[in-house]
């Protein structure tokens, strides 16, 4: 079942972006669908986008590189550079837009978006499910204009993540039904 409005919470922690969602799936499964590109192709990205390419080297220093195609636009590329992987508790990575070759690039629609964000995703057991927490922070190398753009985009980030989490919840429900 997709997360309801009561299941999503957003808060500002020193102006970072934090979003939580309760997912009706075991923590190990939620962690697995975040760390296997075959799973991520089924749910990753904003609503209306499809994963068209994905490679993952899941280790500190490794990279998840992906391409997303929207209905009316070309392919948008992104990457994670993993810093920390603690199964099934936490993923820490630097998140950025990229080109098809994996080189870090500017946001395709926002030239003042920070080049890189530090992302921490935690997976906490909760009765009957998993409390997922997404925490994005601007790296110290960001300019003041990049920081302002990030902070001003809070509502848009919430909207994008809500769609992604809806897709994740539906995918988790689907794969759990198949294993019953």
- The whole-chain average pLDDT of the chain stands at 91
Where exactly are the structural domains of the chain? 5-178
Higher pLDDT, 3 or 67: 67
Query: 68 near 45, Cβ under 8 Å?
Result: yes
Which residues are registered as beta bridge partners of 86? 90
Query: 39 near 33, Cβ under 8 Å?
Result: yes
Region 99-125 average pLDDT: 97
Backbone angles phi and psi of 62, in degrees to 5: -80, 170
Instruction: Say how far apart CA 115 and CA 138 lie, in whole Å.
Output: 9
Percent of the chain with pLDDT over 90: 84
First to last CA, the chain: 16
- Binned at pLDDT 50, 70 and 90, residue 6 comes out as very low
Percent of the chain with pLDDT over 70: 92
pLDDT for residue 71: 82
Topology, domain 5-178: Alpha-D-Glucose-1,6-Bisphosphate; Chain A, domain 4 (3.30.530)
Give exposure, 136-147, as e/b (b: 16+ Cβ within 10 Å): bbbeeebeeebe
For the chain, helix, strand, coil in percent to 5 are 25, 40, 30
pLDDT at 2 over 50: no
């Amino acid at each position: 079942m997709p997360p309801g409005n009561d299941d999503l919470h957003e808060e500002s922690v020193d102006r970072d972006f934090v979003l939580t969602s309760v997912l009706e799936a075991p923590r190990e499964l939620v962690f697995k669908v975040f760390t296997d590109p075959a799973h991520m192709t089924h749910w990753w990205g904003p609503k209306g986008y499809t994963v068209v390419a994905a490679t993952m080297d899941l280790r500190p220093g490794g990279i998840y590189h992906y391409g997303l195609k929207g209905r009316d636009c070309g392919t948008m590329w992104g990457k994670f550079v993993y810093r920390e992987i603690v199964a099934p508790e936490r993923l820490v990575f630097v998140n950025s837009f990229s080109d098809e070759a994996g080189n870090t690039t500017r946001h395709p629609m926002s030239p003042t978006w920070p080049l890189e964000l530090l992302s921490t995703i935690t997976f906490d057991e909760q009765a009957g499910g998993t409390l997922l927490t997404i925490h994005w922070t601007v790296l110290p190398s960001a300019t003041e204009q990049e920081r302002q753009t990030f902070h001003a985009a809070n509502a848009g980030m919430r909207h994008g993540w809500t769609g992604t989490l809806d897709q994740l919840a539906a995918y988790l429900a689907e794969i759990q039904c198949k294993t019953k």
